[in-house]
Amino acid sequence: MIEKNFYKMPKIFFEDSKYKDMKNDSKLSYMILLDLLPLSKKNKWINEDGEYYVKLSRNKLMKILNVKGTQKMAQIMRELVDHKLIINKRVGLTKCNEIYILMPDIKTNLIPSFYPEVRDDEEDFKTLHKTFSERLHIDYLKGRYDNTMVDEIINNICHMYTSNLTVIGGQVIPRSAVRGVLDKLEVHHIEHVIRQYLETAQEQKIRNTIRYMQTLIYNSVFEAGSRVRGQIRHDFGY
């Protein structure tokens, strides 16, 4: 596809006052780093928390941008860190840093989090998204809960369904097992996820929203049913 020959730049960089004052070289750097995520997926550059990171030396990035001087390059990286667009993790003097790409602040109720696994088969993903949206009655859910959160949950379900692995509670769960669980999801499971997420968010800051939400989704199939049965026993005195 021709679009693979182009970089993608977030429009919010030119629309939101938070990013308008950023240097163009910083915006270009984010765009270049974001473009490397499919390579991270291919090479399985993923940490123990299921978060993908990219690798690119500063010298190579300087060459791509035609930037002269390490001080200027350091300022570019600092600007990306200060705007919470990347996390730059040092791993050793002779190794490339692990660079985690963060989502720009799109003013949702969710804390900006690590990008989930990058997809190449967008059409298949859209079909899967439509299937889960219909099966889980997304219109009903959006009529009762925050629309952004409902969309985020559906997106995470689709990513879990198509990913080769999902990390739950520090354990790597293979795709076949994850699909078996996700195929059992019903509306009350999603409502359980929303309640649990909001309860936790009120008590503490959720550092990695994607990992936490995927854990809630996976566990909801096992927890929501027992919670409902427990309520029935209580109500009827069983």
Please write the tens of the pLDDT for every residue from 29-88. Answer: 999 999 998 888 888 888 776 678 899 988 999 999 998 888 999 999 999 999 888 888
**107 within a domain of the structure (yes/no):** no
Domain termination site, one of 66, 101, 136: 101
Looking at the fold, whether 55 and 89 belong to one and the same domain comes out as yes
Looking at the fold, whether 186 and 81 belong to one and the same domain comes out as no
Which residue intervals of the chain are DSSP H helices? 12-15, 17-20, 24-35, 37-43, 58-65, 70-82, 122-135, 138-144, 147-162, 175-182, 187-203, 209-236
Mean pLDDT in residue range 152-160: 92
- C-alpha of 26 from chain center: 22
**113 within a domain of the structure (yes/no):** no
Looking at the fold, whether 133 and 227 belong to one and the same domain comes out as yes
Rounded to an integer, what distance in angstroms lies between the CA atom of residue 156 and that of residue 190?
Answer: 12
Q: Is the pTM of this model over 0.75?
A: no
Looking at the fold, whether 164 and 95 belong to one and the same domain comes out as no
pLDDT for residue 107 is more than 70: no
Looking at the fold, whether 74 and 142 belong to one and the same domain comes out as no
Looking at the fold, whether 228 and 154 belong to one and the same domain comes out as yes
Number of domains into which the chain is organized:
2
Q: Which domain holds residue 13?
A: 2-101
Looking at the fold, whether 67 and 135 belong to one and the same domain comes out as no
Looking at the fold, whether 217 and 138 belong to one and the same domain comes out as yes
Query: Which pLDDT belongs to residue 122?
Result: 60
pLDDT for residue 96 is more than 90: no
CA separation, residue 4 to residues 50, 62, 85, 99, 167 (Å)? 25, 22, 23, 22, 29
Query: Which pLDDT belongs to residue 106?
Result: 56
pLDDT for residue 2 is more than 60: no
Rounded to an integer, what distance in angstroms lies between the CA atom of residue 53 and that of residue 204?
Answer: 25
Domain termination site, one of 34, 66, 101: 101
- Give the rounded percent of residues in the chain with a pLDDT score beyond 90: 40
Looking at the fold, whether 139 and 221 belong to one and the same domain comes out as yes
Average pLDDT, whole number, for the chain?
82
Collapsed DSSP state (helix, strand, coil) of residue 88: strand
**84 within a domain of the structure (yes/no):** yes
**117 within a domain of the structure (yes/no):** no
